[in-house]
Structure 1
């Protein structure tokens, strides 16, 4: 995601990065060249102008369709950001609440829980992008466990299972009762819910019929516009077609860019930054490393 100061709009007036110009420049140039051909044919061969009434009416309807398109895409973008805000909060809540029972009594078990919790957002972000990457914190966990999780059918779910298993181990060792375990595990359940919400957005594109109809309407409007403007605008119809194409095609492309906000495009959510914040917050809660945690047998500590 591009960071910017919204109060200094002139500072970004000529920016190309993230502005959708690169994505639509080909379509804009084609419509502009087409407008040049229409104007030249009208002036030097025979008139081909048409009344502009239809374009005035269709332009209003097309504008409403584009507004609905961008609003729907931004709703998906903002819902995705809220879901990731929930992931930030629940990982913090789990580490904070579990630390009350485990940090002093069983530092090694607490480290295991916190590290798996820190792996969770990295696994979720990678899964949404179609790759398998558990992030840098996975290097601090047993390699065998990490390999099993990475090879799982749903790596993020496997990470959540490791988190729940660490909480269950705390109950088995007598650090809290089963009701406390259930309360702590509610954070894990919410994390799974948030990831499911992100997957719903990622795997459900805009309805195909709506997308196709809107793009057909855009093409017909932009390519027939020179015929409606050539009689009154002359060669300026080329400039008008260029500007209208830039506005309409740019709005549609913005909707495409933000409807799935979990990728690596310039306007997608900064998932790496969010994961980095979670890593820093959680690792700061860990107790200092020692050769062996007091009261924890060496074999048990290694098994975690």
Structure 2
């Protein structure tokens, strides 16, 4: 994710990173070259202009399609951010509540904090098809790391370890059944948020809608010079440049944000969120740096 000040226009007005200019540049260039060919043919061979009323009417419908496309994509982006906000909240609640009951069992609390901090990393790995445990990977034994890597579902494997620790707390009489149920509810909600993220990732927008929108967009932009050439002449090139840049840009924004869990410039900063959760949970568990370094490996 790119962090910027929305009040300062000139700071990012000419930025290329994250602006999608590279993604749509070739499409826009092809439209402009095609427009130049149409204008040349119109002026030096024979007139090929058509009435502009058709493009005026179709442009309205195309604009509505693009608005719906962008809104649907942003809904997915914002829902993804809310789901990750839920992961932040529930991990904090789990360790905050556990710390009250495990103040005399700091090792068990720290172990729970470690596996809870691993959950967002494992979730990110499932959404990105990668394996990255951040700095937490160095605190696990080789067996624990290989267990996570070899598991059928990394996040579920980590959540199972969290549930085992909660069950140990109950079996040792450290928490009552009511408290255990409350803490386990936090783990259940984490798995629910994981499922919500997977739903977004594995359910793209309907294929028929995307295909129809793109066909209409290409036909509109490539027939636009015929509607403009008689009125604007060579200025049609500038008109086609601006219109195709706007329309292709809006469509590409939808593509960019409909899958918010990647590693692109406009995707959610999941790695930063994972690091924030890591620091928060370790602070709640009283795991200062010197304490973590003194802990046996793989605790």
Cα distance change, pair 143–101 in 1 and its aligned pair in 2 (3 A): farther
Q: CA deviation at 1:174?
A: 1.1
Matched, 1:217 2:220: no
Cα distance change, pair 138–168 in 1 and its aligned pair in 2 (3 A): farther
Aligned residue pairs, count: 296
Q: CA deviation at 1:135?
A: 2.9
Q: CA deviation at 1:132?
A: 2.4
Unaligned runs of 5+ in 2: none
1:292 & 1:280 partners in 2: Cα distance? 17
Cα distance change, pair 8–218 in 1 and its aligned pair in 2 (3 A): same
Cα distance change, pair 207–139 in 1 and its aligned pair in 2 (3 A): same
Matched, 1:32 2:22: no
Q: Is the 8 A contact 1:134 1:150 kept in 2?
A: no
| Pairing of 1:1-304 with structure 2 (within 5 A) | 1-102=1-102, 104-287=103-286, 289=291
Unaligned runs of 5+ in 1: 294-300
TM-score by length of 2: 0.95
Q: Is the 8 A contact 1:32 1:242 kept in 2?
A: yes
* 1:20-53 CA-partner distances (Å, limit 9, x unpaired): 1110000000000000000000000010000001
1:164 & 1:204 partners in 2: Cα distance? 29
1:114 & 1:143 partners in 2: Cα distance? 19
TM-align CA RMSD: 1.8
Q: CA deviation at 1:290?
A: 9.1
Q: CA deviation at 1:147?
A: 1.7
Q: CA deviation at 1:303?
A: 8.9
2:292 & 2:251 partners in 1: Cα distance? 57
Q: Is the 8 A contact 1:122 1:135 kept in 2?
A: yes
1:196 & 1:148 partners in 2: Cα distance? 21
2:36 & 2:297 partners in 1: Cα distance? 74
